[in-house]
Structure 1
Amino acid sequence: MILRRGLAIVLFAALFVPEASLSAQTAAAAQDSAVEPQGANNASSTATKEDGGYLLHVNVKLVNVFTNVTDSTGAIVGGLTKEDFFVTEDGRPQRIAVFERQSELPLNLVLAIDTSGSVHKDLPLEQDAARKFVHALLRGQDQISLLEFATDVRQVVPFTNQANRIDRGLASLRGGPATALYDAIYLASENLARQTASGRPGRKVLVLVTDGGDTANTVTYAEALEKALRGEVMVYSIIDVPIEASAGRDTGGEHALITLAEQTGGKYFYANTGGLDKAFAQVSEDLRTQYLLGYYPANQPPGLDFHRIRVSVPRAAQDAFDIRYRTGYYADTQATN
């Protein structure tokens, strides 16, 4: 729509302002170079006077899609090239303009730990595993924040690059009787969006450690999911369930965590399969082996609130690969973030 509006401006100038001119090559160059990958959230057009004519500058929004590919055994598929991937938006093919085999972009990560009564027995294990995870993952360009959620959500440590601050925060977790899970997702997504809006580049990641139950009833699941999608937050759910045969097991909550991870391009893990240490290690590995696919949306149908993304590897047999990525983005969010 922006390009069409820009074209109308050019045609108007050509008809009514004889000295105005704009070459097709200049317009194409503006589209290709006006936006850098980390400035991927704005769409605008401006006209400036130059040498007696008018030059139209077009900034087209870049959509970043972080993608993980595994085979039928769950092993990571490396070595794919840009030509191996095919991306569509709302069913319309898109040209991949940015490609990285292993994204080295900084991480903006919120670690949110459930400290409610239902998981209190595992809190020492969660603290120890989370501490190892932070020390193994944190690089010089990364920022991590610590949240705990029980009856309320509390930011224990704001975004920092110092692992020892997270250590002290983990030691101070205090807990409560209820579980404000969806509040935690909502607030963490809001904090991550604010982090990048302030000029901090990189991936936005939320790692949840919880049994999946939500008993606070303040924010709904739908609201939490929408907030995560609008913030372009990848959610990783580490599900710490009681004994599987337990009558108190919240399978509905587990399903919500699984769906949340799938919709945002993250992943879910069960802590009782190999323990919390293994689950955290899998999250770390997943974040280090992501492909970055970036494209400038083309041929968008008008009037859509949510644009759906699909990524495939055409040369692979059907169901040969498990390809994970966010399912789409909200149009108004992409235009204003």
Structure 2
Amino acid sequence: MFFFSLLLLLAPSLAAQDDASPTFRIESKLVNLFVNVTDQNGAIVGGLNKEDFKVLEDGRSQEIAVFERQSEMPLDLILAVDTSASTFKDRTRERDASKAFLHGLVRPQDQIAIIEFATYVNLLVPFTNKASQLEHGLNSLKGGDATALYDAIYLASDSLAKQHDRKVLVLVSDGGDTAKSTTYQQALEHALRGEVMIYSVIDVPIEASAGRDIGGEHALITLAEQTGGKSFYVEGGNLEKAFSKVSEDLRTQYLLGYYPHNQMRNSSFHRISVTIPRAASSDFMVRYKAGYYSEAAEQQPKRRVPMD
């Protein structure tokens, strides 16, 4: 009797479901793009509006749902300092310039961590906004023989991926990876999956060519370009100037967000294009990450040493 009564109660809703066509709803993840715009002379272009930008994903137009000018979104930033043997002569300069950079950058809403990388990757300071803790960590820089650059990127991206704000990795190094653990492609993919922007501060030997790792420098430049960050060479030992450029770049970004639609199926990587249609392509330099990965599994490194 109870079962029969229940059927009578459900009958109207079941009939309505039969008459109506089935409805499917797909939840799209918001894709955030941090975009920098400069003119032909390298000057920052401010004052642009949402309507000035056009976003394509895999060649398909996307509607901009979120727009902010000169984003004040908090920073989750990891400063990664190369302490391998080749950087020993610059250790004091790196430490002092890093202190000035962090003092000028950190705000109450920001979270900064510090790691060093040589043969292994070591966590010196976990995420904090306390300048005294950051300074203490920089005073404890040690050294090592090899350069685990790609391990540092992979592990830092791992840590940043768990954060919720603008995710930035600032690398201070003079060249490439000699640890041969994580590969370049694995490091880049992990950074893109973690939505991490890489800023490379390249501090090469003073001598014209002795000791330089040109391939390593190119890798640092490309990592920055692909993730929407930027690379800066330290000119004449002026590390402070390079850090100042990083800080300026982070403070003058546009935030563009969209929910992907008409998405290309069976693609693990979605390539992004951002343009300013009203201007000639040569008028502005528009910088942003190359794209993002879907949820498909990534290739794992053969060996990865966790940060202490």
TM-score (norm 2): 0.88
Equivalent-residue separation in structure 1 for 2:265 and 2:26 (angstroms):
19
Aligned residues: 285
For the Cα contact (< 8 Å) 2:268–2:296, is it kept in 1? no
Larger Rg: 2
Which residue, 51, 59, 63 being the options, matches 2:27?
59
Which residue, 167, 172, 183 being the options, matches 2:140?
172
For the Cα contact (< 8 Å) 1:230–1:333, is it kept in 2? no
1:17 shift after superposition: 3.4
Which residue, 4, 12, 17 being the options, matches 2:14?
17
- Equivalent residue number for residue 210 of structure 1: 173
2:181 match: secondary structure: coil
2:256 match: secondary structure: strand
- Equivalent residue number for residue 316 of structure 1: 279
1:317 match: secondary structure: coil
1:207 shift after superposition: 0.1
Q: Deviations over 1:229-263 (max 9, x none)?
A: 11110000000001352232100000000000000
Equivalent-residue separation in structure 1 for 2:151 and 2:261 (angstroms):
36
1:215 shift after superposition: 1.0
CA spacing shift, 1:76–1:309, aligned 2, 3 Å: same
For the Cα contact (< 8 Å) 1:100–1:291, is it kept in 2? yes
Any gaps of 5 or more consecutive residues in structure 2? 1-12, 298-308
1:20 shift after superposition: 4.1
- Equivalent residue number for residue 251 of structure 1: 214
2:145 match: secondary structure: coil
2:271 match: secondary structure: strand
1:275 shift after superposition: 1.0
Alignment pair present for 1:300 and 2:263: yes
2:270 match: secondary structure: strand
- Equivalent residue number for residue 158 of structure 1: 126
Equivalent-residue separation in structure 2 for 1:268 and 1:72 (angstroms):
18
Equivalent-residue separation in structure 2 for 1:18 and 1:78 (angstroms):
57
Q: Deviations over 1:56-85 (max 9, x none)?
A: 775321110000001111110000000000
Equivalent-residue separation in structure 2 for 1:58 and 1:21 (angstroms):
22
For the Cα contact (< 8 Å) 1:88–1:311, is it kept in 2? yes
Alignment pair present for 1:100 and 2:68: yes
1:78 match: secondary structure: coil
- Equivalent residue number for residue 83 of structure 1: 51
Equivalent-residue separation in structure 2 for 1:311 and 1:177 (angstroms):
42
TM-score (norm 1): 0.81
- Equivalent residue number for residue 233 of structure 1: 196
1:208 match: secondary structure: strand
Whose helix fraction is larger, Structure 1's or Structure 2's? 1
Could you say what the CA RMSD is over the residues aligned between the two structures, in angstroms? Answer: 2.1
- Equivalent residue number for residue 131 of structure 1: 99
CA spacing shift, 1:21–1:99, aligned 2, 3 Å: farther
Structure number with the bigger relative contact order (C-alpha 8 A, sep ≥ 6) is: 2
CA spacing shift, 1:22–1:181, aligned 2, 3 Å: farther
1:102 match: secondary structure: coil
